[in-house]
């Protein structure tokens, strides 16, 4: 699954023009300092690359040593599996469970006839998955364990097992099909029990005593002699509230009242689900006009009606009513987890206040963004660069913050870095090339103390060497920085471009 | 004579602190009920005289003896500057060479602001934001990084409830980068609205804003927003606005001064303090401090040499309390 997702992403990226799309893909995980293959795509398997090999071994086996190697991320796999389970839940079956690491269990009792039979359902599902670039094997049986086994291992009876044929279908399969833990599997393999038929042939009392009740339970579940239970993904629908008006609505007050009322209902619904609003959409159906849509995001999940209303109200007053509004539909199109307030009383006090702070922070951000737009409410994003002007960038504040930040520089840096460095006319330099007197914007400065130079050079891999950049706007040349104090005690950060010796003012301490 | 006075001043501050026991000195400042007791807006700047005189006046009064009681005095400015419930206005100095191009232009005291942001964040719960409003007031991002050396922890300045964060203890100041929010308002109205909004939010530790062009009405609105709020509001004002009317509680004047080391230095003068009578009595008319930027800790402090009380080479490099009018 994950493989498929990655391959799709590779196919989309323009950097390799799809040239390397046919390369095998492997996922590696570092175990005790060794990079081991955890998953290999069918192409890789065809080359003989199997999970458990080292990365270098896999490279040696691949044709022309060309492989896509990626890190194995089990949590993302699981998340993707859950999303797929939700989708299957909407499309195919009311009961879907996740079977980590790569399985899904569907209870299709009574669902087959909607697709024209179980066989058609299976075909339909396979096609749908294939369109999403997901390779899947589907087994159908009267018990989950049996279906699981026949989907993963080749069964002489095919992938669809009729009720009553479980024993016959399972008999030739290896005992791996029973989802036993590794220790039990090894113990059974040690005494030569490889197939389920061997297991069935053993006396049940012996089996339970030697290998634990788990083996028998799994066996019974597979053959339908014991009850199975699965942990189905919960049913979750979008929180939506609708209001229909008798005739077109024309008064602003009436609309505000109706929206407020709908919002209360929506938030009550979210409260029952322990969700907080992240994105709200309001759709207004108008007479003789296309529907008007109002949508906005909030930065932290919230159920605070006052806050949401304060964001919604100014937008509502801009709506053109046309010949009247017939219907309004309020949807929480994105939500986030927001535990009930009561839960917090049992936690430590600090986390409660912490959450209150986050909530207040979110409200502050939303209110600012609503008035100033997100392009003017910014956060820092640091790059690991040597250029003073390139190491910090501003990004909209509602984008996620990075977890780690580059280490601070230890040398002195100015407190203000102008957006554009100013050209400086150097009147006088001393014998060592230190600035003595300079002129900037019509004023003349005299150096009383100078510290430097600090040389900041471009990274060699960025510099093509063809065209020496002549000013700041065009790339980055080698520069010598000086901290200079003028006669009034102000400190300036002057720099000289190495290529042509011109001077720039690139910051000061104020 | 002067050193005796300084000693008495420091003793009184210590005595008041002991009287209050564990409660910090901050609540006293917070309930500043007698606003405008001895100063009316607008007159304070005229009584200050030209700012250029501050360093030149300093040596005449700076005859304090070595090593006595400087500890309280050298951090008094910080305690006042971290007072919540007040709007702090910061004025730079327009030098003669600035006239043709810089007189109208703002020169926000960014080193000082970073220092105050660091201390404000340490007092506030985790996640409280520092907000920089106005492009001119955005400091260079490197200054917001955690300091490579420990910040001088000052319990007095932080208040008692402010347990220094673990990071500060093991040798790193707080990282302001994830907690900084940069706002770029286009109009004066937007700027005022943003400062006001931020000042009322419980998730904000401090607001540093471009205060250019604010008059009495604007500063009064901000002062009202600040009153009773834990958020510290610092406005950077242009040097030529020192005569403008304003309702702010505290006014500072920061003038760069030639330094004998390779670190930038300033003379900080407290031009206005609408505080309680107790505090007002403790202070001279316009107390002044010599401060130095320390990049390693990314803070501002009275230069170490002066604190230790050894004889400084330049006469200006001493903490001085200047009396403008004979009492």
- Comparing A133 with A321, the larger pLDDT belongs to A321
Interface test with A, best of B99, B118, B140 (most A CBs within 10 A): B140
**CB-based contact B180 A380, cutoff 8 Å:** yes
Q: Is the pLDDT of residue A298 over 70?
A: yes
Question: What is the C-alpha to C-alpha distance for residues B286 and B295, in angstroms, rounded to an integer?
Answer: 28
Distance from CA of A447 to the nearest CA of B (A): 11
Question: What is the C-alpha to C-alpha distance for residues B191 and B171, in angstroms, rounded to an integer?
Answer: 36
Pair of tokens at residue B124? 């506030």
Q: How does the average pLDDT of chain B come out, rounded?
A: 70
Question: What is the C-alpha to C-alpha distance for residues B83 and B28, in angstroms, rounded to an integer?
Answer: 10
Q: A445 - beta bridge partners?
A: A438
Structure confidence at residue A13 as a pLDDT band (50, 70, 90): very low
A407, A417, A491: residue with CB nearest B140: A417
Lowest mean pLDDT among A111-115, A338-342, B164-168, B237-241: B164-168
Structure confidence at residue A7 as a pLDDT band (50, 70, 90): low
Q: Is the pLDDT of residue A346 over 70?
A: no
Question: What is the C-alpha to C-alpha distance for residues A57 and B144, in angstroms, rounded to an integer?
Answer: 47
Lowest mean pLDDT among A224-228, B285-289, B311-315: B311-315
Q: Both ends of chain B: CA-CA distance in Å?
A: 13
Mean pLDDT for A463-475 is 49
Q: Is the pLDDT of residue B323 over 50?
A: no
Mean pLDDT for A272-298 is 90
**CB-based contact A490 B256, cutoff 8 Å:** yes
Q: Which residues of A touch B178 (CB under 8 A)?
A: 380, 401-402, 405
Q: For chains A and B, count residue pairs whose Cβ atoms are closer than 8 Å.
A: 155
Nearest to A161 by CA among A131, A203, A119, A195: A119
Distance from CA of B25 to the nearest CA of A (A): 24
Q: What is the pLDDT of residue A377?
A: 93
**CB-based contact A361 B296, cutoff 8 Å:** no
Please answer whether residues A333 and A237 qualify as being in contact, where contact means their C-beta atoms are separated by less than 8 angstroms.
Answer: no
Dump pLDDT digits (tens) for A156-180: 888 888 888 888 888 888 888 888 8
Nearest to B144 by CA among A152, A475, A356, A382: A382
Q: Is the pLDDT of residue B166 over 60?
A: no
Give B170's contacts (C-beta < 8 A, 6+ positions apart).
B150
What is the distance, to the nearest Å, from the Cα of residue A25 to the centroid of all Cα atoms in its chain? Answer: 21
SS (H, E, C) A154-190: CCCCCCECCCCCHHHHHCCCEHHHHCCCHHHHHHHHH
Proportion of chain A above pLDDT 70, given as a percent: 90
Lowest mean pLDDT among A373-382, B45-54, B180-189, B249-258: B45-54
Assess B116–A contact: CB distance below 8 Å, yes or no. no
- Comparing B98 with A135, the larger pLDDT belongs to A135
Mean pLDDT for B193-209 is 92
Q: Which residues of B touch A382 (CB under 8 A)?
A: 141, 177
What chain B residue is nearest to A352 in terms of C-alpha separation? B125
Q: How does the average pLDDT of chain A come out, rounded?
A: 83
Q: What values do phi and psi take at A240, rounded to 5?
A: -135, 140
Q: What is the pLDDT of residue B306?
A: 56
Q: Which residues of B touch A383 (CB under 8 A)?
A: none
Structure confidence at residue A181 as a pLDDT band (50, 70, 90): confident
Please answer whether residues A184 and A200 qualify as being in contact, where contact means their C-beta atoms are separated by less than 8 angstroms.
Answer: no
Q: Both ends of chain A: CA-CA distance in Å?
A: 56
Mean pLDDT for A83-89 is 86
Q: What is the pLDDT of residue B48?
A: 34
Lowest mean pLDDT among A63-72, A369-378, B137-146: A63-72
B125, B129, B184: residue with CB nearest A376: B184
Distance from CA of B257 to the nearest CA of A (A): 4
Q: Is the pLDDT of residue B22 over 70?
A: no
- Comparing A386 with B233, the larger pLDDT belongs to B233
- Comparing B319 with B36, the larger pLDDT belongs to B319
Which pairs from A103-107 meet CB under 8 Å and 24+ separation? Answer: A103/A148, A103/A151, A103/A152, A105/A144, A105/A147, A105/A148, A105/A230, A107/A144, A107/A230, A107/A232
**CB-based contact B203 A490, cutoff 8 Å:** no
Structure confidence at residue B180 as a pLDDT band (50, 70, 90): very high
Dump pLDDT digits (tens) for B243-256: 889 999 899 999 99
B139, B144, B178: residue with CB nearest A416: B139
Give A395's contacts (C-beta < 8 A, 6+ positions apart).
A378, A379, A380, A381
Q: Is the pLDDT of residue A5 over 60?
A: no
Question: What is the C-alpha to C-alpha distance for residues A38 and A386, in angstroms, rounded to an integer?
Answer: 38
Question: What is the C-alpha to C-alpha distance for residues A99 and A135, in angstroms, rounded to an integer?
Answer: 16
**CB-based contact A353 B141, cutoff 8 Å:** no
Question: What is the C-alpha to C-alpha distance for residues A270 and A339, in angstroms, rounded to an integer?
Answer: 11
Q: What is the pLDDT of residue A460?
A: 67
Q: What is the pLDDT of residue B262?
A: 86
Interface test with B, best of A299, A416, A452 (most B CBs within 10 A): A416
Residues A70, A73, A75: CA angle, nearest 5 degrees: 165
What is the three-class DSSP state of B274? coil
Question: What is the C-alpha to C-alpha distance for residues B186 and A418, in angstroms, rounded to an integer?
Answer: 18
Give B200's contacts (C-beta < 8 A, 6+ positions apart).
B225, B229, B231
Q: Is the pLDDT of residue B217 over 90?
A: yes
Structure confidence at residue B97 as a pLDDT band (50, 70, 90): low
- Comparing B69 with A486, the larger pLDDT belongs to A486
Question: What is the C-alpha to C-alpha distance for residues A504 and A421, in angstroms, rounded to an integer?
Answer: 6
Q: Which residues of A touch B190 (CB under 8 A)?
A: 371-372
Question: What is the C-alpha to C-alpha distance for residues B173 and B252, in angstroms, rounded to an integer?
Answer: 25
The number of beta carbons lying within 10 Å of the beta carbon of residue A164 is 9
Dump pLDDT digits (tens) for B268-283: 998 888 877 777 776 7
Mean pLDDT for B141-170 is 56
Proportion of chain A above pLDDT 90, given as a percent: 15
- Comparing A243 with A462, the larger pLDDT belongs to A243
Mean pLDDT for A60-81 is 81
Assess B37–A contact: CB distance below 8 Å, yes or no. no
Q: Is the pLDDT of residue B37 over 50?
A: no
Mean pLDDT for A303-309 is 90
Nearest to B226 by CA among B199, B208, B191, B190: B199
Q: What is the pLDDT of residue B114?
A: 93
- Residue identified by tokens 């030098």 is B95
| Cα→Cα distances B233→A3, B133, B134, B271, Å | 53, 11, 14, 17
Residue A186: exposure state from Cβ atoms within 10 A (0-12, 13-18, ≥19): exposed
Pair of tokens at residue A255? 């609309």
Question: What is the C-alpha to C-alpha distance for residues B254 and B290, in angstroms, rounded to an integer?
Answer: 10
Q: What is the pLDDT of residue B104?
A: 54
Q: Is the pLDDT of residue B77 over 70?
A: yes
Pair of tokens at residue B62? 């700076």
Question: What is the C-alpha to C-alpha distance for residues A485 and B261, in angstroms, rounded to an integer?
Answer: 10
Mean pLDDT for A94-113 is 87
Q: Which residues of A touch B140 (CB under 8 A)?
A: 388, 392, 413-417, 507
Distance from CA of A274 to the nearest CA of B (A): 24
Dump pLDDT digits (tens) for A355-375: 778 888 888 998 999 889 889
- Comparing B102 with A88, the larger pLDDT belongs to A88
Mean pLDDT for A85-110 is 86
Dump pLDDT digits (tens) for A407-458: 888 788 999 888 888 888 999 888 888 899 998 887 888 999 998 788 888 7
Q: What is the pLDDT of residue B162?
A: 42
Q: Which residues of B touch A372 (CB under 8 A)?
A: 183-185, 190, 194
SS (H, E, C) A411-466: CCCCCECCCCCEEEEEEEECCCCCEEEEEECCEEEEEEEEEEEEEECCCCCCCCCC
Dump pLDDT digits (tens) for B109-139: 899 999 999 888 888 777 789 999 998 899 9
Q: What is the pLDDT of residue A414?
A: 92
Q: Is the pLDDT of residue A18 over 50?
A: no
Q: What is the pLDDT of residue B96?
A: 53
- Residue identified by tokens 């005449």 is B60
Assess B110–A contact: CB distance below 8 Å, yes or no. yes
């Amino acid at each position: 699954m994950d493989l498929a997702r990655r391959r799709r992403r590779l196919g989309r990226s323009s950097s390799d023009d799809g040239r390397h799309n046919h390369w095998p893909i492997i996922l590696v995980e570092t175990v005790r300092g060794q990079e081991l293959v955890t998953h290999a795509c069918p192409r890789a398997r065809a080359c003989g690359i199997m999970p458990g090999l080292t990365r270098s071994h896999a490279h040696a086996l691949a044709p022309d040593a060309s492989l896509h190697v990626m890190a194995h991320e089990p949590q993302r796999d699981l998340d993707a599996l859950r999303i797929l389970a939700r989708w299957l839940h909407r499309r195919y079956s009311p009961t879907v469970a996740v079977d980590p690491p790569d399985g899904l269990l569907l209870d299709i009792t009574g669902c087959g006839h909607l697709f024209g039979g179980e066989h058609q359902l299976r075909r339909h599902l396979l096609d749908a998955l294939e369109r999403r670039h997901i390779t899947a094997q589907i087994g159908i049986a009267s018990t989950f364990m049996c279906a699981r086994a026949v989907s993963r291992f080749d069964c002489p009876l095919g992938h669809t097992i009729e009720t009553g044929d479980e024993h016959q279908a399972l008999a030739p399969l290896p005992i791996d099909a029973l989802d036993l833990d590794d220790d039990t599997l090894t113990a059974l393999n040690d005494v030569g029990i490889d197939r389920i038929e061997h297991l069935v042939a053993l006396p049940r009392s012996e089996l339970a005593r030697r290998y634990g009740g788990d083996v028998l339970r799994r066996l019974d579940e597979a053959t339908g002699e014991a009850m199975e239970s699965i942990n189905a993904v919960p049913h979750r629908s979008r929180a939506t509230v609708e209001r229909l008006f008798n005739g077109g609505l024309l008064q602003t007050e009436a609309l505000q009242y109706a929206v407020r009322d709908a919002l209360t209902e929506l938030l009550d619904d979210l409260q029952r689900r322990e969700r907080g609003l992240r994105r709200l959409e309001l759709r207004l159906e108008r007479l003789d006009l296309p529907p008007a849509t109002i949508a906005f995001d909030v930065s932290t999940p919230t159920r605070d009606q006052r806050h949401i209303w304060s964001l919604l109200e100014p937008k509502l007053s801009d709506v053109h009513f046309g010949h009247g509004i017939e219907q309004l539909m309020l949807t929480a199109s994105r939500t986030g987890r927001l535990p009930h307030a009561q839960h917090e009383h049992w936690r430590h006090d600090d986390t409660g206040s912490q959450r209150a702070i986050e909530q207040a922070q979110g409200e502050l951000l939303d209110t600012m963004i609503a008035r100033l737009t997100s392009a003017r409410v910014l956060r820092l994003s640091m790059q690991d660069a040597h250029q003073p002007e390139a190491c910090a960038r501003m990004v909209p504040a509602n984008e996620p913050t990075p977890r780690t930040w580059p280490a601070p520089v230890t040398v002195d840096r100015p407190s203000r870095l102008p957006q554009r460095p100013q050209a400086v006319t150097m009147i006088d330099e001393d014998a060592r090339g230190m600035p003595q007197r300079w002129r900037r914007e019509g004023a003349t400065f005299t150096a009383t103390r100078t510290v430097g130079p600090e040389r900041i050079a471009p990274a060699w891999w960025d510099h093509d060497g063809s065209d020496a950049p002549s000013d700041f706007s065009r790339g980055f040349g080698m520069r010598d920085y000086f901290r200079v104090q003028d006669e009034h005690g102000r400190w300036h950060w002057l720099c000289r471009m190495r290529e042509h010796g011109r001077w720039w003012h690139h910051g000061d301490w104020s | 004579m002067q050193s005796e006075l300084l000693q008495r001043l420091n003793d009184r501050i210590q005595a008041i602190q002991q009287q209050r026991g564990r409660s910090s000195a901050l609540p006293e400042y917070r309930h500043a009920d007698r606003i405008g007791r001895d100063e009316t807006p607008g007159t304070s700047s005229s009584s200050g005289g030209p700012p250029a005189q501050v360093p030149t006046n300093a040596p005449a009064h700076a005859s304090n003896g070595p090593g006595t009681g400087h500890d309280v005095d050298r951090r008094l400015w910080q305690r006042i500057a971290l007072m919540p419930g007040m709007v702090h206005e910061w004025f730079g100095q327009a030098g003669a060479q600035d006239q043709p191009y810089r007189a109208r232009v703002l020169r926000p005291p960014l080193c000082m602001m970073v220092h105050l942001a660091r201390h404000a964040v340490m007092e506030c719960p985790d996640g409280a934001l520092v907000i920089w409003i106005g492009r001119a007031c955005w400091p260079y991002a490197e200054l917001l990084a955690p300091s490579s050396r420990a910040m001088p922890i000052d319990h007095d300045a932080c208040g008692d409830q402010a347990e220094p964060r673990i990071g500060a203890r093991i040798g790193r100041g707080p990282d302001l980068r994830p907690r900084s929010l940069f706002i770029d308002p286009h109009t004066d109205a937007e700027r005022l609205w943003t400062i006001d909004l931020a000042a009322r939010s419980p998730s904000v530790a401090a607001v540093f804003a471009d205060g250019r062009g604010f008059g009495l009405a604007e500063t009064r609105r901000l002062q009202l927003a600040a009153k009773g709020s834990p958020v510290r509001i610092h406005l950077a004002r242009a040097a030529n606005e020192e005569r403008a009317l304003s309702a702010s509680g505290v006014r500072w004047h920061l003038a760069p001064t030639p330094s004998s080391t390779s670190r930038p230095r300033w003379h900080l003068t407290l031009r206005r303090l609408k505080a309680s009578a107790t505090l007002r009595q403790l202070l001279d008319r316009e107390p002044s401090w010599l401060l130095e930027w320390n990049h390693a800790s990314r803070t501002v402090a009275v230069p170490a040499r002066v604190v230790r009380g050894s004889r400084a080479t330049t006469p200006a490099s001493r903490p001085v309390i200047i009396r403008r009018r004979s009492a």
